[in-house]
Amino acid sequence: MNAGNARIGTENARVHLYTVCAYFRTMFAHSDDIRKHSYILTPDRYIGTEAAEDDGEPFENKMKRLTATLREQQKEAAKLDAVIAANLKELEYGG
């Protein structure tokens, strides 16, 4: 069953909740806890969220740095994709 961005699976009156985001956190919640929350399965009701640590780098600088890194990685990915495509073509698996 999927409820929002949480999924559940039952096992002996306890429910396994896990998110598909937020660092793939997971936990078990008993059906009593879920009942107390009116059967709302929003993960943050069961799995705490800690504040992110401030690394001291200003947001604008971090975004510029991370964007530059992303662009470099995208260029490298394009080169690797071309090598893979050429190899597949050589093996007669590419068009």
- The beta-strand segments (E) located in the chain are 2-3, 6-11, 14-19, 26-30
Single pTM value for the model: 0.45
Q: Which residue has tokens 């068009």? A: 95
Contact 29, 15 (CB under 8 A): yes
Mind listing the pLDDT tens digit of every residue in the chain (95 residues)? 444 444 444 444 455 554 445 455 556 677 787 788 888 877 777 666 666 788 899 999 999 999 999 999 999 999 999 999 999 999 999 76
Largest CA-CA distance found in the chain, in angstroms, rounded: 62
